[in-house]
Amino acid sequence: MATLNGFNANEIDPAASFDPIPAGKYVASIVESEMTITKAGDGQYLKLTFEVGEGPYTGRRLWARLNLDNPNPQAVQIARAELSAICRAVGVLQPQDSCELHNLPLCIKVTCSKRGDTGDIVNEVKGYEKKEAAFSSGPNPAAAAPAPGPAPQAQNRPPWQR
């Protein structure tokens, strides 16, 4: 049993839906990162947590895994290319630690795909660009998407402005 110290659900907005967000480009920033050992125990991946910072999906989080240490050289090459794209998008070309990439706005390209094991539709981060360059070619399709409901009040500002 846990004491909830007089918690009152009437005073707090409920959590928003965790359904996938529509495919498109979103302004986001990395808010967490950590190196994690692979399930097989033969390598490590950099787990990045992105938080959408603008538009109707502000506050939503998405994840990417970069296989920076893996027995498969092609997986490592792909991960290093993705990390290079992230570094260029946020303007930190020689980071010594992944935390140097945190809270810097960039544009992420989000896709939707079906999980092979459950059939659920999930989001995947498939590309990274500078924030300024990302929307210069046209409108942001994500900005026109309907809002999923009220966002938590603490997340109304982009993470890099907190």
Q: Name the band, by pLDDT with cuts 50, 70 and 90, for residue 130.
A: very high
Range of the domain at 75: 20-132
Whether 7 maps to a domain, the answer reads no
Whether 56 maps to a domain, the answer reads yes
Residue 50: exposed, middle, or buried by beta-carbon count in 10 A (0-12, 13-18, 19+)? buried
Whether 65 maps to a domain, the answer reads yes
Res. 109: pLDDT tops 80: yes
Number of domains in the chain: 1
Q: What is the CATH number of the domain that holds 107?
A: 2.40.50
Q: What would the pLDDT profile of 31-61 be if each residue is shown by its tens digit?
A: 999 999 999 999 999 999 999 999 999 999 9
Q: Are residues 16 and 148 in contact, defined by beta-carbon separation less than 8 angstroms?
A: yes
Q: Which amino acid does the sequence have at 154?
A: A
Distance from chain centroid for Cα 35: 16
Whether 160 maps to a domain, the answer reads no
Q: Give backbone dihedrals phi and psi of 18, rounded to 5 degrees, phi first.
A: -105, 20
> What is the average pLDDT value for the chain, to the nearest integer?
86
Q: What would the pLDDT profile of 136-149 be if each residue is shown by its tens digit?
A: 544 444 444 444 44
Res. 100: pLDDT tops 80: yes
Cα(67)–Cα(71) distance, integer angstroms: 10
Whether 40 maps to a domain, the answer reads yes
pLDDT at position 161: 52
Token pair of 122 as six digits = 């999930």
Whether 143 maps to a domain, the answer reads no
Whether 137 maps to a domain, the answer reads no
Whether 35 maps to a domain, the answer reads yes
Q: Name the band, by pLDDT with cuts 50, 70 and 90, for residue 97.
A: very high
